[in-house]
Amino acid sequence: MTLPTPLKLMGAPGSPYTRKMLSLLRFRHIPYELLIGDQSTRQGLPKPKVSLLPTFYLPNDKGETEAVVDSTPLIRRFEKEFSERSVIPEDPVMTFLNYLLEDYGDEWLTKAMFHYRWYYDDDIDKAGKILPRWRNLSTPDENLISMSKMVSERQIARLYVVGSNDITAPVIEDSYHRFLAIFDAVIQKQPFLMGQRPGSADFAFYAQLTQLARFDPTPAQICLDESPRVYAWTDVVDDLSGNPASTDGWLSRDDAKSVLGDLLAEVGRVYVPAMIANAEALMAGRNQMETTIDGKPWTQPAFPYQGKCLQWVRQEYAGLADEERGAVDEILAGTGCEELFRA
């Protein structure tokens, strides 16, 4: 089945996953139409089972339009439907590393995004003012006062979902500072995580940075002060439609350890213990996960979706051929990421 274009999706500027997909579509030269606010309702489009952004409206096997969410599997679906300008490396070893880093961006960096936005007063104030206006630019000011209050209160009350609280705040913020320094060092060597052309992991990092580096005041100032290179990178990745996407532009497995080793160690330091503890809590039927991350206590509700994410990462690893898995093991050795695959 060939997907008709332009692809139609509902999203919002303040949704990092919307930004992830829009930038990726621009790089891949896939035409799209972005619907904002209630445009999808007015067009009579179906609602997704779980209300998430972005929502794509795609034909199913029966030719009926259905609402589809979740950026990572959507990216893989589009790889099958559109052959040009792939965001998945050709080498299976690098394909796996790209998948792991994409999940780190989607499932760990998003903690920093949500934390900073709804933890600090200046960030709460800006988000509360702007997010409702993005939905409808013509909403009367008198209505926006109550809408801003409602949005802020609802999101602040959900901080616990991503694990942001007074106990975990130092872990999240220290990790963000380290991430900026480590990622800055990577893009001093090459423009993207996956080499001279972006992989899907690059768009996952970009997604969170559109908010962390370019919208929310506190983390944006940190980024500008500590890594103006990452700040600028975020602007550049917004539209990579002119990137040549040369076939020899991928980072090789032989260079992966030297280029990505410190970043993988950061993944092993924070993302890995969080994902493992979450999975253990789910298996034990506990509603709460408690663990130690970076030597500090961490507690948050167990999150079933991230349990699925870990299963998918492990499936990607298990699907490698023996030689490829051995190469991955060598790259991950000593980073902490290898703990994801302990028997």
- 92-341 topology per CATH: Glutathione S-transferase Yfyf (Class Pi); Chain A, domain 2 (1.20.1050)
pLDDT digits (tens, 9 = 90+) for 269-282: 999 999 999 999 99
pLDDT digits (tens, 9 = 90+) for 116-159: 999 999 999 999 999 999 988 898 988 888 999 998 998 999 89
Q: What is the pLDDT of residue 136?
A: 87
Q: What is the pLDDT of residue 343?
A: 60
Residue 81 DSSP SS3 = helix
DSSP bridge pairs for 250: 195
Which tokens in the block code for residue 205?
Answer: 């990092």
DSSP letters spanning 221-286:
HHHHHH-HHHHHHHHHHT--TT----TT-BPPHHHHHHHHHHHHHHIIIIIHHHHHHHHHHHHTT-
Nearest Cα neighbor of 135 from 149, 123, 122, 151 is 151
> pTM value?
0.96
Q: What is the pLDDT of residue 2?
A: 77
Q: What is the pLDDT of residue 41?
A: 82
Q: What is the pLDDT of residue 162?
A: 87
Q: What is the pLDDT of residue 160?
A: 86
Q: φ and ψ at 67, to 5 degrees?
A: -90, 125
Nearest Cα neighbor of 172 from 289, 270, 260 is 270
Q: How far is CA 244 from the centre of its chain?
A: 24
Average pLDDT of the chain, as a whole number: 96
pLDDT digits (tens, 9 = 90+) for 75-116: 999 999 999 999 999 999 999 999 999 999 999 999 999 999
Is 70 exceeded by the pLDDT of residue 1? no
pLDDT digits (tens, 9 = 90+) for 219-267: 999 999 999 999 999 999 999 999 999 999 999 999 999 999 999 999 9
| Distance (Å, whole) CA 212 – CA 30 | 26
Domain boundaries, the chain: 7-81, 92-341
CATH architecture of 7-81: 3-Layer(aba) Sandwich (3.40)
Q: What is the pLDDT of residue 213?
A: 98
Q: Do residues 208 and 113 lie in contact, with contact meaning Cβ atoms separated by under 8 Å? A: yes
Residue 45 DSSP SS3 = coil
